[in-house]
Chain A
Amino acid sequence: GAVVSQHPSRVICKSGTSVKIECRSLDFQATTMFWYRQFPKQSLMLMATSNEGSKATYEQGVEKDKFLINHASLTLSTLTVTSAHPEDSSFYICSARDAIGRDPQYFGPGTRLTVT
């Protein structure tokens, strides 16, 4: 149980285009999902907290207009990287907590984004 999927696992896009990453909880309902980013040799850094039916809460320094988050259902949150640039190339990973809000957070396998 407690499986989270992410799609795509890898994506290469051209500079200036937008990329959408999906995060799904497959066997549980997730009121809250989290989006993280990891640069090489660094830790997972929280970008934003996504709550079903409401606006996401972004961490300091994360541009909300660049990283659009939509949590339209209890099993799906999406992260759209708009007008991507090479410096947005990174590993993006999501996690979800169950509807009651219990720990732990369950993670997806991540998405490797390369912007050329």
Chain B
Amino acid sequence: ILNVEQSPQSLHVQEGDSTNFTCSFPSSNFYALHWYRWETAKSPEALFVMTLNGDEKKKGRISATLNTKEGYSYLYIKGSQPEDSATYLCAFSLTGGGNKLTFGTGTQLKVEL
């Protein structure tokens, strides 16, 4: 069984704080790592798809890094805003895996005023 571990499970920060979460995944036969943001009652929104070791991607105040050799990715949010409150999911796919995604349980972020 291939597991994805996300930490922390939940996080409360103040508006303006910067924060980061971790996603750990098996490094063997790695193909891609996906990050999604999931707000309550909405569809999960794709943030990043990362494939290369050392990859760094940025979208506004959110950025992510990838280490495929050791099997982890970090998601960073700079200057958190209340609208960043959501569950952040990571998922990975394997080479030859038919693009099937294995998800973690997510990090639930609450940004307070």
List the interface of chain A (C-beta within 8 A of B). 4, 32, 34, 36, 41-46, 49, 57, 93, 97, 101, 103-110
Instruction: Name the segment of B12-20, B38-46, B60-68 touching the other chain.
Output: B38-46
Residue-by-residue, is B33-73 near A (CB-CB < 8 Å gives 1, otherwise 0)?
01010000111101001000000000000000000000000
Q: Is the CB of B105 within 8 A of A49?
A: no
Q: How far is the CA of A72 from the CA of B36 in the complex (A)?
A: 28
Q: Is the CB of B105 within 8 A of A4?
A: no
Nearest CB of A to B85, in Å:
17
B104 at interface, CB cutoff 8 A:
yes
Q: Is the CB of A109 within 8 A of B42?
A: yes
Q: Which residues of A contact B89 (CB under 8 A)?
A: 43-44
The residue on A at minimum CB distance from B89 is: A44
A and B contact pairs by CB, cutoff 8 A, 12 listed: A4-B43, A43-B4, A44-B91, A44-B101, A57-B98, A93-B44, A103-B32, A103-B34, A103-B99, A105-B99, A107-B44, A109-B41
Q: Is the CB of B106 within 8 A of A109?
A: no
Q: Is the CB of B41 within 8 A of A42?
A: no
Nearest CB of A to B41, in Å:
7
Q: Is the CB of B100 within 8 A of A106?
A: no
Which interface residue of A41, A46, A103 has the most chain B CB atoms within 10 A?
A: A103
Q: Is the CB of A43 within 8 A of B32?
A: no
Q: Which residues of B contact A46 (CB under 8 A)?
A: 100-102
B103 at interface, CB cutoff 8 A:
yes
Among A34, A42, A108, the residue within 8 A (CB) of B100 is: A34
